[in-house]
Amino acid sequence: MALFKKKEINLPPPQHIAIIMDGNGRWAKKRGLPRTAGHGAGAEAFRRTANYCRTLGVKYLTVYAFSTENWKRSEEEVSGIMKLLGKYLEEALADMEKNHVRFRFFGDLSRLSPELQTLCQNAQERSSEYDEVQVNFCLNYGGRDEIVKAAKSFAREVAEGKRKPEELTEQLFDNYLYSAGVPDPELIIRPSGEMRTSNFLLWQSAYSEYVFMDVLWPDFSPKDLDAAIAEYHRRNRRFGGV
Ligand code: IPE
Ligand code: IPE
Ligand code: MG
């Protein structure tokens, strides 16, 4: 048993881990704090987890920060989240150069404030040459929205005579997604106890291993990531074979 455990620890981590950063509101409620306090603690958990992924040698980390459905929340909560994102991104821009982290944003950024859009663009452009770790930040992201946008882009190219409908394959379709060029995540972690995708990476998760955990996102620690990776290594991935 001890030997088995040792072997688990030595196994390389997946090259792409995706996380649905859920449970901030419940974390705050448990402490009698406003929901925005939970989002602040969630931002810290993200920083901690991204650093740990870098230490482990994870190449891609994709995080779900705000969904196309999250606009349904109160104006107060949404503006609190946007403010935090602005603050976080400004700090991330400063850190990025030091840590050689590449940032990409998946989602429809046009609905964000002009200031936030500029921060996202700056982060994306200024880090585009880094290739050690890549963080894909899903902001105003929806898996269905992503697929519809990809279909529209392809249809537009067909209408312009640049493509033929018969040319479309699963591989080519990948190029029209926000995640173009990024391999599919091997592991998707959802903390907070909820067991659903909530519109996250619908196309890319076809063969991802899901690990659902009871911990609330602001409490998520390197130990939890280790546990999720160990669980991933215990899975038997068959991809439809035997
Ligand atoms: C995730 O935490 C953050 C966002 C969706 C923006 P929640 O705010 O959904 O936290 P719970 O699920 O209400 O606890
Ligand atoms: C998913 O969490 C979105 C993010 C974590 C950004 P939600 O809290 O919005 O999902 P539901 O409402 O529980 O499905
Ligand atoms: Mg939630």
pLDDT in tens, 212-235: 999 999 999 999 999 999 999 999
DSSP letter at 16? E
Q: Is 131 a catalytic residue?
A: no
Provide mean pLDDT across the span 91-114.
91
| Ligand 2 pocket test, candidate residues 26, 64, 67, most atoms within 8 A of CB | 67
142: CA distance to ligand 1 center in Å?
A: 15
Q: Model pTM?
A: 0.95
Gap between the Cα atoms of 43 and 24, Å rounded: 9
Q: What is the CATH number of domain 14-232?
A: 3.40.1180.10
Instruction: Write out residues with Cβ below 6 Å of ligand 2.
Output: 20-22, 64-67, 70, 194, 196, 198
Q: Is the CB of 143 under 6 A from ligand 1?
A: no
- Domain ranges for the chain: 14-232
Which is the catalytic residue, given 10, 24, 70, 95? 70
Minimum CA distance residue for ligand 1 atom 8: 25
pLDDT for 95: 80
Q: Is 22 a catalytic residue?
A: yes
pLDDT digits (tens, 9 = 90+) for 117-132: 999 999 999 999 998 8
21: CA distance to ligand 3 center in Å?
A: 8
Minimum CA distance residue for ligand 2 atom 2: 22
Q: pLDDT band for 211, please (50, 70, 90 cuts).
A: very high
Instruction: Give me the half-sphere count of Cα atoms (radius 13 Å) on the Cβ side of residue 125.
Output: 6
- The closest of 153, 194, 189, 150 to 64, measured between CA atoms, is 189
Taking the alpha carbons at both ends of the chain, their separation in whole angstroms is 27
What is the chain's mean pLDDT, rounded? 94
- The closest of 22, 189, 197, 177 to 107, measured between CA atoms, is 177
199 alpha carbon, closest ligand: 2
Minimum CA distance residue for ligand 2 atom 3: 67
Using the predicted structure, report yes or no on whether residue 9 has a pLDDT greater than 80: no
Q: Is the CB of 36 under 6 A from ligand 1?
A: no
Q: pLDDT band for 154, please (50, 70, 90 cuts).
A: very high
- The closest of 170, 172, 135 to 157, measured between CA atoms, is 172
**Alpha-helix runs per DSSP H in the chain:** 2-10, 24-30, 35-56, 75-99, 114-126, 143-159, 170-174, 222-234
116: CA distance to ligand 2 center in Å?
A: 21
Q: Is the CB of 21 under 6 A from ligand 1?
A: yes
pLDDT digits (tens, 9 = 90+) for 96-105: 878 889 999 9
Minimum CA distance residue for ligand 1 atom 12: 23
Show the tokens assigned to 20.
């649905």
